[in-house]
């Protein structure tokens, strides 16, 4: 049996995360690891190479996020017209199962471990069930290491992505991670994990490892052991973390010594009321600047994420956020529009309040306004978001930002900022094409 695994890339969504050096899909590599070796397997990540429409397969599995659901459905429909059975899995089909079933033969709800081998066996026997769902979450010792030897699975040798744990106890209203992966962190065996990293580093010599955990430092004792094990490997790596990490000097020192070059941190808002409303209580805006200083003191750069359109945001939020980023020397600011994703408490609340104005999943990419804000118009929110990206990644502002960075860290951050500028340019071009580039002049 020939099995094809696909991660779709939509052509009409605007996503600033579509960076110049795309990261291989960790989800597809994990599903590949669950696939018996006697099955002919191929991976197509459309962010890395196009999907040939006539590609032969006996079964197609597609990993679906909300923003690429329409592209996933188009691929699924095309294969089914050829008589090829299709299985959809991932966050979006889990929370929109009935919708997904209109475009496929089967849906895998939740995590694939313990389920995918049964899907393959049923497909071979010609008796696919409509819905597959494992009971409970995957124990950490059952989470496999990604398999990069599959054709199409690991073309990018410069960046390697890897999950070391699943689950996030923070449980923000706007995030589906805690619903999908649970609120308890489930960490993989560190000795096995580090040996895998050692092998990948020796074989592929990547420039960077990207640990895609939702919060790498949520379990302090585990993080300490992990960082100590990484030190001899002399790696460069980045990951996601909460601001709690800044309260622990010893942990920061270990992270830096182990090769941490950048942390992605969700600041989300400069407003306490916003953070309380959306249950991001680990963040304290009055402590942001000191936390940033502590992280920077260890030579670790910050990719800081901010959300526009929260209920206490007013039209001045865009300039205030930019001033904060410049004052605090955030190396790579990121801006998203509040987006009520399926599976979140935010979507349920906005539906109850009658504030959802757009149900086209292609626009749920965190860069389109799909709901009615409370204290500004939809056009103001869209224009402010677009302005923030354009301003933050203009050449003048990038160079001004880089000049403030200690000389030893300037080279990498300069490259990273101009790579991000290319992605931002593509995003803004797409927003203009889709008509989501209002010019109300309210920022002037």
Instruction: Give tens-digit pLDDT for 64-119.
Output: 999 999 999 999 999 999 999 999 999 999 999 999 999 999 999 999 999 999 99
Among 111, 265, 89, which Cα is nearest to 177's? 111
**Encoded tokens for 310:** 């929260």
Q: 10 Å Cβ neighbour count for 295?
A: 22
Question: Which pLDDT value is given to residue 154?
Answer: 57
- The token duo for 15 is 């996503």
C-beta pairs of 96-101 under 8 Å, 24+ apart in sequence: 96/69, 96/342, 97/131, 100/64, 100/69, 100/73, 101/130, 101/131
Rg (alpha carbons) of the chain, rounded to whole number? 22
CA distances from 37 to 145, 147, 354, 408 (A): 15, 11, 50, 46
What pLDDT shows up at residue 165? 93
Q: Are the CB atoms for 256 and 299 separated by under 8 Å?
A: yes
Hey, what are 306's tokens? 């901010």
User: Could you tell me how far CA 221 lies from the centroid of its own chain?
Assistant: 25
Query: What confidence category does residue 21 fall into, taking pLDDT thresholds of 50, 70 and 90?
Result: very low
List helix spans (H) across 102-260: 116-125, 177-181, 190-204, 220-230, 249-257
Q: What is the pLDDT of residue 23?
A: 61
CB 422 within 8 A of CB 298: no
> Where do the domains of the chain lie, and which CATH numbers do they carry?
2-133 (3.40.50.280), 157-433 (3.20.20.70)
pLDDT at 168 over 60: yes
The pLDDT value recorded for residue 18 is 55
Mean pLDDT of 374-398: 95
Statement: residue 34 has pLDDT above 80: yes
Is it the case that residue 322 has pLDDT exceeding 80? yes
Q: SS3 for 278-303, per residue?
A: CCCCCCCHHHHHHHHHHHHHCCCEEE
Q: Which two tokens stand for residue 319?
A: 């300039």
The residue with tokens 């749920």 is: 364
**Does residue 6 sit in helix, strand or coil?**
strand
Give the residue among 173, 260, 176, 251 at the shortest CA–CA distance from 214.
176
Q: What mean pLDDT is predicted for residues 8-27?
A: 66
């Amino acid at each position: 049996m020939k099995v094809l695994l696909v991660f779709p890339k939509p052509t009409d969504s605007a996503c600033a995360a579509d960076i110049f050096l795309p990261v291989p899909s960790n989800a597809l590599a994990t599903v590949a690891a669950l696939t018996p070796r006697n099955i002919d397997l191929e991976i197509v990540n459309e962010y890395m190479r196009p999907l040939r429409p006539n590609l032969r397969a006996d079964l197609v599995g597609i990993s679906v996020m909300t923003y690429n659901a329409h592209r996933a459905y188009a691929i699924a429909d095309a294969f089914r017209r050829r008589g090829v059975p299709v299985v959809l899995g991932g966050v979006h089909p889990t929370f929109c199962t009935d919708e997904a079933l209109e475009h496929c033969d089967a849906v895998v709800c939740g995590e694939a471990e313990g389920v995918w081998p049964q899907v393959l066996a049923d497909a071979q026997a010609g008796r696919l069930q409509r819905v597959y769902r494992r009971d409970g979450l995957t124990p950490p010792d059952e989470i496999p290491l990604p398999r990069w030897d599959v054709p199409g699975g690991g073309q990018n040798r410069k960046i390697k992505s890897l999950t070391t744990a699943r689950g996030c106890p923070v449980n923000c209203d706007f995030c589906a991670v805690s619903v999908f992966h649970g609120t308890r962190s489930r960490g993989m065996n560190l000795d096995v994990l580090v040996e895998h990293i050692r092998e990948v580093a020796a074989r592929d010599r990547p420039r960077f490892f990207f640990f895609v955990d939702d919060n790498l430092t949520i379990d302090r004792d585990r993080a300490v052991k992990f960082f100590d094990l990484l030190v001899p490997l002399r790696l460069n790596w980045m990951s996601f973390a909460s601001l709690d990490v800044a309260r622990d000097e010893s942990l920061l020192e270990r992270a830096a010594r182990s090769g941490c070059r950048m942390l992605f941190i969700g600041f989300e808002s400069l407003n306490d009321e916003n953070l309380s409303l959306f249950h991001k209580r680990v963040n304290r805006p009055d402590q942001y600047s000191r936390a940033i200083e502590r992280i920077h003191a260890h030579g670790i750069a910050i990719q800081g994420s901010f959300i526009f359109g929260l209920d206490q945001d007013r039209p001045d939020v865009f300039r205030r956020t930019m001033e904060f980023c410049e004052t605090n020397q955030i190396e790579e600011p990121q801006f998203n529009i509040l987006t009520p994703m399926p599976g979140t408490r935010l979507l349920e609340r906005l539906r109850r309040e009658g504030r959802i104005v757009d149900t086209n999943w292609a626009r749920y990419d965190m860069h389109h306004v799909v709901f009615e804000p409370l204290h500004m118009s939809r056009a103001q929110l869209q224009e402010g978001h677009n302005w923030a990206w354009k301003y933050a990644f203009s050449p003048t502002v990038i160079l001004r930002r880089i000049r403030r960075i200690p000389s030893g860290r300037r080279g990498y951050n300069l490259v990273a900022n101009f790579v991000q500028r290319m992605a931002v340019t593509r995003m803004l071009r797409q927003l203009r094409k889709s008509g989501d580039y209002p010019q109300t002049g309210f920022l002037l």
